[in-house]
Amino acid sequence: MNLFEFLLDPASWTGPSGIPARLLQHLLYSGAAVLLAALVAIPLGVVIGHTRRGDAVASGLSNAARAIPTLGLLVLVVTLLGTGAAPVVGALAVLAVPPVLINTVAGFRQADQEAVHAGRALGMTPWQLVRQVELPLATPLIVSGVRSASLQVIATATVAALAAAGGLGRFVVDGQRLGPEGYPQMLAGAVLVALLAIVVDLLLGGLSWQLERRRRHIRREERGDLDALRAGELAEQAAARPDTADRAGDADRPADAATVEVPAGETPDTGPRPGHR
């Protein structure tokens, strides 16, 4: 039996050990791990990115999580908690935290500062600024971090089979036990994992593209609000300010000759009278 015969065999698509069941288990493990990592990394990244404090904490946590070998962590967790899905999800979640955390912080740091200043000028509270301005602008990078974490988790979730769990890794482990006869099964497991990763990457890539379009729209709206606010402030200042131009013109105008009011019937006295000494 070769790879195509194994994939086209109806027995490979039925039962609790068939491809659909193993695929669903793999998706559940991966989805739970990424969700758990997002629940931890995104709020922490929002706080660090908004306050501009704690970069060392984020970098330290990310580097420490990346340095931990997944297989070694899985063995440690299985030794402490036993076999099953929970140890697998916990080990995979540790692997998924660094890219989500780093991208969340970077998304807030790279948010358009003009839009942020416009929100502050409009009187937004810090929570409103995060929810209505910074978070929508940072969402594409956050999704990019989730995308990277998902690919890593899907590829690494094959180790779930080593903890007596399910997933597509069962094809690799079970095929290895069969010896040469299990090579098609092992290859099928590897191909299915690669195809799953490609499909998830395309889906999240499309979502990231849509969010990027929305981000550009938000930036245009915030810049429009900022321009309108600046125009209103300039108009108010011009209305409240005295007409200095007219005053300057009056100051530069030469003074008129002095005039003397003369009662009716009299002539102005412009010089000495004749015969007067």
pLDDT of 71-85, one tens digit each?
A: 788 878 878 877 778
Most confident of 70-79, 178-187, 225-234, 254-263: 178-187
- Please state the pTM of the whole predicted model: 0.73
> Confidence band (pLDDT; 50, 70, 90) for 272?
low
Across all residues in the chain, what is the average pLDDT?
79
Chain-centre distance for alpha carbon 107: 4
